[in-house]
Amino acid sequence: MIGLLSFIGFTALVAIISYLATRNTDENSSDGYFLGGRSLTGVVIAGSLLLTNLSTEQIVGLNGTAYKEGVLVMAWETLAAIAMVITAIFLLPRYLKGGIATIPTFLERRYNKTTKAITSGLFLSGYVVVLLPIVLYSGALAINSMFDVPEMLGVSKTTGLWITVFSIGIIGSIYAIFGGLKAVAVSDTINAIGLLIGGLLIPVFGLMEIGNNSISEGISTLLESNPKKFNAIGDVTASVPFTTIFTGMMLVQLFYWGTNQAIIQRALGAKNLKEGQKGLLLASFIKILGPLIVVLPGIIAFHIFQGNLSNPDEAYPELVTRVLPASLVGFFAAVLFGAILSSFNSALNSSVTLFGVDIYKEFINKQASEIQIVKAGKRFGVLLALLSMFVAPFIANAPDGLFGYLQEVNGCYSIPILTIIVVGYLTKRVPAIAANIAILSGAILYIISQFVLQPYYVDTALANAKAASITDAGALSLIKAQAYPHYLHVMAILFVCNIIVMLIIGKFFPRKEAYTDTFTHEVDITPWKHAKTVGIGITLIVIAVYIYFS
């Protein structure tokens, strides 16, 4: 009961503070609603970025992978820091110079309306079909497990899942649809503090259990007993082979932190370039510490449970139940609930923005006023929220390794979009037809590669191995890994191919006039004088971390 009361109390406190902080924001304008009135400071941006990124599918999924493979999965966290540095120094100044509210808005200016429509459609498809339902589903599972909702309400597990999914969806929708970006960002900042505290408590208590109430003893025991778990160099059978760090991994990170609407929208709402760069760089520094929350607990769980868990994704919740004092369960559940809401309402808010600014205003009602755009976006948001709530409970048969699965599926739109943005900024005469061909061909070729060719080659290789009477698990794993390129390598190959195609088209069919960026004077774009120095420092820290764990 104490845990439940602390959960309700902390959640209510966040809601009240968010309301008080946003009640004077003008949400009848696009900038007010979609970009928080372009008033976000560095600390708020950093907190919102971190919590938008960190949610149950990552906390549970990455720790589950770390339980199996060890520290090598930290690539998803540490390399993000470098991508955020690149975004802060290279991309954000160009975004704020153009005063854009969405990435597709830039693509329309650089290419044409068709490019913007295709990109907005891909973003919305990714959010609605993949991200929103999976966030709701994984979040509902975590909350149900922590509070045993089915037992509490006297219902079946399926019914309990439906109830929790709709509870999370409705609360998240209130933040995202009726509060706008500033409400999302403020609530994110408060929850980010709680998540950092609560998330760090899990490995602390875990190490204390291993070391008989001594953290230092726990660290020594963990390192000595599991040396293979602390090798950051993954082989070809790993979920993140070391070679992928230099190919598709950095492309995925750059797309996520530099062009993904749900993420970059926080930086687009900065009051000026200095605050935007400070927010991104602060978040990138904290991101280096991310493995303490999303990797280390998985390794601790492997040591405590001796690798006996049948489902690796159970490692984190089982560890929480094992080591966290009962008095802190409610607080941690509230923080985890905030992380779930953050990912859900951030993606939903971005979907509303994409629809209102890029689709409704452009293709449905060109004469729409600012108030009409916001209202249309809110109505669309309600529809998306309901759709995702109805879809989420049916993801019960999602495959193991949910985090890796999400990254692979998201490749359908991440790399094609990144390609046309990079070419758009680095060239001046590549035409719109090149971008439209590249984004469609990139998505189609990736789908064919991962969902047609890969299963064929892998199944054929395994069938041949079976015919040769090969039964050793390690040998089969190696055969499977070598049968087809890793999806991160495929992303890099398609990225290069798409760029070549665009440059060839640009060579023979260039734009009549070179594209130029126009300064809209929406915000001050004077850069932070320490941005490059701090960025170089963060990059060197990441390299040092890899050298240490090699």
Model confidence pLDDT, tens digit, residues 112-135? 988 988 888 887 877 777 778 878
Which region among 355-369, 495-509, 514-528 has the lowest average model confidence (pLDDT)? 355-369
Nearest one of 94, 227, 8 to 519, comparing CA atoms = 94
Both tokens assigned to 518 = 């126009």
For residue 513, tell me if it sits in a domain: no
- Residue spans of beta strands (DSSP E) within 67-180: none
Output 539 or 181, whichever has higher pLDDT.
539
Which region among 221-235, 263-277, 524-538 has the lowest average model confidence (pLDDT)? 263-277
Both tokens assigned to 306 = 């001796």
In this prediction the pTM is 0.81
For residue 441, tell me if it sits in a domain: no
As a whole number of Å, the end-to-end CA separation of the chain is: 46
CB 126 within 8 A of CB 413: yes
CA 511 to CA 499: how far, in whole Å?
16
pLDDT for the residue 492: 96
pLDDT for the residue 150: 83
Enumerate residues 6+ apart whose C-beta is below 8 A from 65: 73, 239, 298, 312, 401, 403, 404
Q: Residue 271 pLDDT more than 90?
A: no
What count of Cα atoms within 13 Å lies in the side-chain half-sphere of residue 517?
Answer: 16
Q: Give kind and range of the element (H or E) at residue 181.
A: helix 157-210
pLDDT for the residue 280: 94
CA 468 to CA 466: how far, in whole Å?
5
What DSSP letter does each residue of 410-467 carry, written as one string? HHHHHHHHHHHHHHHHH-SS--HHHHHHHHHHHHHHHHHIIIIIHHHHHHHHHHHHHH
For residue 169, tell me if it sits in a domain: yes
Confidence label for 387 from pLDDT (cuts 50, 70 and 90): confident
Confidence label for 6 from pLDDT (cuts 50, 70 and 90): low
Q: Report which listed range, 143-152, 265-274, 278-287, 374-383, is most confident.
A: 278-287
Q: How many domains does the chain have?
A: 1
What is the rounded average pLDDT of the residues 475-485? 90
For residue 503, tell me if it sits in a domain: no
pLDDT for the residue 2: 55
pLDDT for the residue 394: 74
The fraction of the chain above a pLDDT of 90, given in percent, is 36
Could you tell me the CATH number of the domain that includes residue 167? Answer: 1.20.1730.10
For residue 454, tell me if it sits in a domain: no
Q: How far is CA 380 from CA 97, 348, 383, in A?
A: 29, 10, 5
Q: How far is CA 484 from CA 96, 427, 490, in A?
A: 41, 33, 9
Q: Residue 33 pLDDT more than 50?
A: no
User: In terms of residue numbers, what domain contains 82?
Assistant: 2-15+41-397
pLDDT for the residue 254: 94
For residue 35, tell me if it sits in a domain: no
Nearest one of 357, 280, 314 to 34, comparing CA atoms = 357
Q: In degrees, to the nearest 5, what angle opens at C-alpha 434 toward C-alphas 430 and 440? A: 150
pLDDT for the residue 260: 81
CA 352 to CA 369: how far, in whole Å?
16
CB 39 within 8 A of CB 182: yes
What is the rounded average pLDDT of the residues 405-427? 87
pLDDT in tens, 184-211: 556 666 666 777 788 889 999 999 999 9
For residue 314, tell me if it sits in a domain: yes
pLDDT for the residue 11: 59
Length of the chain: 550
pLDDT for the residue 356: 79
CA 271 to CA 88: how far, in whole Å?
14
Confidence label for 138 from pLDDT (cuts 50, 70 and 90): confident
Q: How far is CA 421 from CA 91, 119, 332, 414, in A?
A: 10, 11, 39, 11
What is the rounded average pLDDT of the residues 508-524? 85
Nearest one of 7, 286, 336, 271 to 141, comparing CA atoms = 336
What is the rounded average pLDDT of the residues 212-236? 92
Q: Residue 403 pLDDT more than 70?
A: no
pLDDT for the residue 504: 96
Residue entry with tokens 């970059």: 264
